[in-house]
Amino acid sequence: MTFKLKVMQTRRSFLQQAALVAAGLAIHPIGLSSCSEKKSMIPRKLGIQLYTLRDELAKDVRSTIAKVAEAGYEQVETFYSYEGPASNFWGLSTQEFKALLQQHNLTTPSGHYQLNDYLTKGNGNDSALKAQLEIAAAAGQSYFTVPIPPLYLWDKYPVPVDDYKFIATQLNRAGELAKASNLKVAYHNHFWEFRKLPDGQSTAYDILLNETDPALVAFELDLFWAVKGGQNPDDLFNKAKGRFPMWHVKDMDKTATASVPDTVGVRIQDIESEIKFAEVGSGSIDFKDIFAHAETAGVQYLFVEQDRITIDPFESIRKSAAYVKGTLMKA
């Protein structure tokens, strides 16, 4: 039987089967595409928060950035270790740093910027905000991320509701200003935000979620600090669907998995021994479960971060990248 005859004989049955498939898709719209759609919800590029390599950057920014690319990363998130207008990025101007990233096929979708005064109730000075928005825009970033609450709130009890309401208001204001530079403001958590308010039910993080405008303010969920703060990331995603375009993918050492006690008088130095980090995939956090909720979160960017490293730092970031790319991105 010739190939042409085979084609003629099978064409009718093919069309009949296609009609049945189409009917099935009409009943079940996600049909055959469900697997690919689910997979596409996980970002295909991997980034790193450069705080992980702060000591190495201070010694040799050019060599460090080259090694970041060699380790398998395509994106970097900057942090606010700047030395003034002429040397914003470890001795490089914004344009020089951007060119260095381009040389190694890296981009920077987000940066962490210090807004302690701007977010402090009774102060609110926006000079640092405006100056740093210019840096973020010049670097080509999409997100202007606030990394931490004002210092005076770190160990303050009871959790001051009005202060966090002020932060929410200021984040909305910053979001309005950021629009002019094609930036969106985001907030990155630690564990402080998950302490209970005086009502014993809600948290400071709830205030930030509920009183910020989704059109103006997004959230970067640090998975380590959320878990350390006693939270289930999946619950947070369901509470504010689509508002978590960035994650810090950071693992927890298996010898220090206890959550931070929500107790009056506990300071960060009191729990230092219970804060230990690990290369991604070698610790205790169930990333496979978290990544299964990527669509609910609305995640667009993944940044590996490790606050403290006990092995060679470049070997550390290679191990984390290999696990995220080889296991989590293929989920």
Residue 316, amino acid: S
What's the rounded mean pLDDT across residues 233-257? 98
Asked if residue 59 is part of any domain, the answer here is: yes
Distance (Å) of CA 127 to CA 124, 306, 315: 9, 31, 39
pLDDT of 8 reads 38
Cα(306)–Cα(308) distance, integer angstroms: 6
For residue 301, what are the β-bridge partners?
A: 246
What's the rounded mean pLDDT across residues 5-17? 39
Q: pLDDT confidence of 265, banded at 50, 70, 90?
A: low
**Going by DSSP bridges, is the β-strand pair 217-222/246-249 parallel, antiparallel, or unpaired?**
parallel
Asked if residue 315 is part of any domain, the answer here is: yes
Asked if residue 8 is part of any domain, the answer here is: no
Per-residue model confidence as pLDDT tens digits over 189-203 = 999 999 999 988 899
Residue 242 near residue 209 (C-beta atoms within 8 A) = no
pLDDT of 17 reads 41
The mean of the pLDDT values for the chain is 88
pLDDT of 263 reads 64
pLDDT of 264 reads 61
Domain with 88 in it: what CATH number?
3.20.20.150
DSSP string, 214-238: TTTEEEEEEHHHHHHTT--HHHHHH
**How many structural domains comprise the chain?**
1
Cα(124)–Cα(267) distance, integer angstroms: 26
Asked if residue 26 is part of any domain, the answer here is: no
The region of weakest confidence among 31-35, 58-62, 96-100, 222-226 is 31-35
Residue 260 has pLDDT above 80, yes or no: yes
Asked if residue 14 is part of any domain, the answer here is: no
Neighbour-count burial of 143, counting CB atoms closer than 10 A to its CB (0-12 exposed, 13-18 middle, 19+ buried): buried
Residue 2 has pLDDT above 90, yes or no: no
Residue 330 has pLDDT above 90, yes or no: no
Asked if residue 145 is part of any domain, the answer here is: yes
Higher pLDDT pick, 219 / 35? 219
Q: What are phi and psi of 151, to 5 degrees?
A: -55, -35
What percent of the chain has pLDDT above 90?
76
Residue 248 has pLDDT above 90, yes or no: yes
> At a CB cut-off of 8 Å and minimum separation 6, what does 146 contact?
112, 113, 115, 119, 171, 174, 185, 186, 187, 188
Per-residue model confidence as pLDDT tens digits over 91-135 = 999 999 999 999 999 999 999 999 999 999 999 999 999 999 999
Predicted TM-score of the model (pTM) = 0.87
> What percentage of the chain's residues is helix, strand, coil (to nearest 5)?
45, 15, 40
Asked if residue 15 is part of any domain, the answer here is: no
Q: Which domain holds residue 229?
A: 38-328
pLDDT of 85 reads 54
What's the rounded mean pLDDT across residues 209-229? 98
Per-residue model confidence as pLDDT tens digits over 310-320 = 999 999 999 99
Asked if residue 295 is part of any domain, the answer here is: yes
Helix (H, G, I), strand (E, B) or coil at 301: strand
pLDDT of 331 reads 63
